[in-house]
Structures are given as C-alpha cells and as structure tokens.
Structure 1
Amino acid sequence: MLWSILIGMVAGWLAGQVSRGQGFGVLGNIVVGIIGAVVGNFLFGLLGLQSYGTLGSIVTSTVGAVLFLWVVRLFTGLPDRR
C-alpha cells in the first residue's frame, strides 16, 4: 500500500510537470497518480501493452495521469499554467 502511494506521488508529480509545469502538492500528486494508475492500466490493457517493475508502474501511471489531467482540463476549461 505504501509503495503504491509512493509510485502515485511520483507519477502525479511527473504528470504535473508535463501538463502544467508544476506539481499539485503531496496530497494532490498522490490522488492524481492513483487515478492515473487506474486510467493508465485500463488503457494499456486495451492496447495489449504490459508494464513490469517499478519503472513500468511509474510510466503507466504517469501516462494515465497526463491523460486524466487533459480530460479534466477539457471539460472544466481550466487553462494551462505554463
């Protein structure tokens, strides 16, 4: 459980760096990373892709988190803060 939270925190921070240019704070990074893990695993499964190990989990979660943030921004109209 703790390992999943740490991976979520790293993935959320990376997604924040990629999509907004900044992080979301510790709690925000964890939430975005965990949602990103769910989205990323779902999408990778649809595409027939698999990830292994810690690095694979971080990549999958980050891709999912970036996509999640893009969809949220699309529906809420929040601007990109670069």
Structure 2
Amino acid sequence: GLFRTKLNQKAANLLWYSNKKDEGVMFEKLFTPFPIPALALVYAVAECCVNERVDSEWTDISFSCGKYKEAYDKHLANLNKFHL
C-alpha cells in the first residue's frame, strides 16, 4: 500500500536521523514509535514538491502552513485511518 513503502524510512532518515545530533536520535523517546503527524508532514512536503513540477516545468513554491495545511490534514486523516 501507499503508506508501506521504503520511501517513508528514507524520508525520515534524511530529515530526522541523518547524524547523531539529529532530532530523531537526540529525542528518541519522542520518535518511538515514529509519530504519525511527522509522516503526514513528509507527505505534505512531497505534495508541494510535486506541485512545483506541474506540466513538466519547475516553479518555485515555498512550503508554508497556510498553503499546505489542508494537504497536511488530509494526509494525517488518511494515515490515522490506515493506522487503525
């Protein structure tokens, strides 16, 4: 399924576990188990990246809470449904 992919782990490693001073390593208790809201954030950012490349042309789109809150909420709801 969509939410069971190696890309989830690769994104988490890149963002929170790339070295021993990263948040995932330093705050292990907060990241065990890996928080669903953090994964929803990864998907919202990925959606922003896809939106930058619409019609095979790159357009710089800055990621902001206001622009991507709806996408984040959608991904969070879907992940919570999948998690049950």
* TM-score category, normalised to shorter length: 0.3 to 0.5
TM-score between the two structures when normalised by the length of structure 1: 0.36
TM-score between the two structures when normalised by the length of structure 2: 0.35
- Structure number with the higher helix fraction is 1
Q: Which has the larger radius of gyration?
A: 2
